[in-house]
Amino acid sequence: MKIVREAIAGTLESNDVFVRVSPADKGLNIQVQSIVLGQFGAQIEQAARQTAQMLGVQNAVLSLDDRGAIDCTIRARVETALLRGAEVQA
Amino acid sequence: MSKLFPSLEDALRHCGLRDGMTLSFHHHLRNGDGVLNIALAEAARLGIRDLTLQASSLFDVHAPLIDHIKSGVVTGIETNYMSSGIGRAISRGVLKKPVRFRSHGGRADAIDSGRVQIDIAVIAAPAADCMGNANGLHGPAACGSLGYAMPDALHAKHVIVVTDHIVPYPLMPASIEEITVDCVVQVPSIGDPKGIVSGTTQITRDPVALAISRMAAQVIQHSGLLKEGFSFQTGAGGASLAVTQYLRPLMRQLQITGSFGLGGITGYLVDMLQEGYFRTLMDVQCFDLKAVESIRDNPLHQQISATRYASPSAKSTAVNSLDVVVLGATEIDTHFNVNVHTDSNGQIMGGSGGHSDTAAGAKLSMIVAPLFRARLPIVVDQVLCNSTPGHTVDVLVTQRGIAVNPLRADLNQALRDARLPVYPIEELKQMAQRITGTPHTARPRGRVVAEVEYRDGSLLDTIRAVD
């Protein structure tokens, strides 16, 4: 799946994550900001990476502004942002 | 004879302000307080240095304090609570000497017993007369009770009353009596009413908080304490206040009248007083306008001093007669120790206030909190700061289940008999971690920036600097 435009998903509410995706040339670049970076930074990155891989996204910049979302929320928000960025119709 | 001084500068000079002194302040004006800032600015202008601040609490409105620390005007802070804006600066090490945290009761005892010496108490007074009789009932900055200022007024070497509302002598009633007051100063404004009391304190509509408070009310119901003469304290936040909403129908059903509601008083407890659920309110601090009106107009709503509220060395205090207290937590560990001083990164964002006092005094001390908050499980292996020792905490109530302190086998049995969802506290921790994942916890390793003194004067814990 190819990211063709910038897209967003999620909110900055507590327990949610705001995801921004944009096209890129080489590889997955995942940037994570989080209020629980120290406690869950690696797990947040991993959830985002696995979601991109599951959708077959090889090149993209993913930027996450996390407000303490649990894994299923992160996966859902990342998936939505990627589908929007790939202009996939639901 | 006149105690009226034309300016705070004159009053401070009259009281002999000099380097190294201890100045005290109360926090009834909360995040609307203007007096602490005015007084420190005055001291700075006079070139005074090396002051110790003895404040019952500090709020973000006091941010100019940070500059007075940097310039050496203030070199020591002792307080019972510090909101996150000030706490962040302290956690980053702005103050060389560690902050001394106490509880509301512990501070009153330290002052009453002389362990803490106050040179000048600067008392923000919403109403005062020319001889220094003062109360919080009238004037544009009315805040209700002045309970936390009472030990300061009694024991400080000098007392300055600062007001924006002078009334003819004698002011009635006097929360602060003229016998202790050296100087009275009139200023244009002692604070911003918007930051002092909220219009109304709303009960939360958050479904998780409501689930917690419903379960908390069930715990009270089956604790054996909900009977004629029941006494109760709760905080104003989130799930704590909502517990009262579920208590009302239970009390009505049982046809019981409570003896007193205690603590920081909200309009919700005022309603319960007016509707006959409680015989009286004992009020050390008002949280909203309805509480301020009630303490002014209703003789059953009585003001109490910090000493009578919670001093551990008094012959008895209100917390000793308390049946149930509902309290919050940022963390609770598997030994039931509670943290209310720092966030989960170890950064200061609060303080004991009356937390450890009421937990020690009440027959049932209950912590209400969500199983996890912003992905962070409430139950941890070891709290980052021990604010309230586990042996004084009886039960944790979350939306998914209840954990009873093993010291309270009787309560454990009673709640199980009532078929409430009781689990070992470790099980609540695992329940949360199955949803959140396992957090990586790093304890701050910087130098000690604060010491937490327990209500009996012993050192309970220390707080270290974060980056």
Residue B378 falls inside a structural domain = yes
Contact with chain A for residue B375, Cβ under 8 A? yes
Best CA proximity match to B16, nearest among B64, B61, B48: B48
Q: How far is the alpha carbon of B180 from chain A, nearest alpha carbon, in Å?
A: 48
How many structural domains are present in chain B?
A: 2
Residue B466 counted as domain residue: no
Domain that holds residue B24: 4-196
Domain shared by B102 and B222, yes or no: no
B373·A39 Cβ contact <8 A: no
Q: Report the C-alpha gap between B382 and B366 in whole angstroms.
A: 19
CB of B420 less than 8 A from some CB of A: no
Same domain, B325 and B349: yes
Q: Is B192 helix (H, G, I), strand (E, B) or coil?
A: coil
The predicted pLDDT at position B239 comes to 82
Q: Indicate yes or no: CB of A42 within 8 angstroms of CB of B441.
A: no
Q: What band does A87 get if pLDDT is binned at 50, 70 and 90? A: confident
Q: Averaged over B364-376, what is the pLDDT?
A: 96
**In terms of domains, do B329 and B239 share one?**
yes
Give the C-alpha separation, B80 to B353, whole Å. 5
CB pair distance less than 8 Å for B375 and A39: yes
**DSSP code at position B183:** E
Name the domain boundary from B175, B196, B217: B196
| Domain end among B163, B196, B229 | B196
CATH assignment of the domain containing B391: 3.40.1080.10
> Is position B448 within any domain?
no
The ipTM, to two decimals, is 0.91
DSSP B338: E
Looking at the fold, whether B436 and B409 belong to one and the same domain comes out as yes
Interface probe for B, chosen from A39, A46, A71 (most Cβ of B below 10 Å), is: A39
Average pLDDT, integer, range B102-111 = 98
Do residue B387 and residue B320 come from a single domain?
yes
3-state helix, strand, coil in chain B (%, to 5): 35, 25, 40
In terms of domains, do B379 and B421 share one?
yes
Q: Which residues contact B38 (CB under 8 A, 6 or more apart)?
A: B8, B162, B187
Give the pLDDT score at B200: 67
Token readout for B396 is: 């944790």
Q: In the predicted model, what is the mean pLDDT of residues A12-33?
A: 96
Q: Both tokens of residue B463?
A: 């707080």
Does any CB of chain A come closer than 8 Å to the CB of residue B204? no
Single-letter residue type at B344: S
Chain B contact for A37, CB < 8 A? no
Task: Enumerate domains of chain A plus CATH numbers.
Answer: 7-85 (3.30.230.10)
Q: DSSP E strands: which ranges in chain A?
A: 7-9, 17-22, 28-34, 60-66
User: Does the beta carbon of A89 lie under 8 angstroms from any beta carbon of chain B?
Assistant: no
- Integer Cα distance of B102 and B105 in angstroms: 8
* Three-class secondary structure of residue B300 per DSSP: coil
Distance of CA B168 to the CA centre of its chain: 33
Average pLDDT of span A54-80: 97
Q: Look at B440 and A67 and tell me if their CB atoms are within 8 Å.
A: no
What contacts B224, CB < 8 A, 6 or more positions away? Answer: B414
Q: Does A18 touch chain B (CB under 8 A)?
A: no
- The residues near B167 (Cβ < 8 Å, ≥ 6 apart) are B127, B128, B129, B138
pLDDT tens per residue across span B250-296: 999 999 999 999 999 999 999 999 999 999 999 999 999 999 999 99
A14–B374 CB contact, under 8 Å: yes
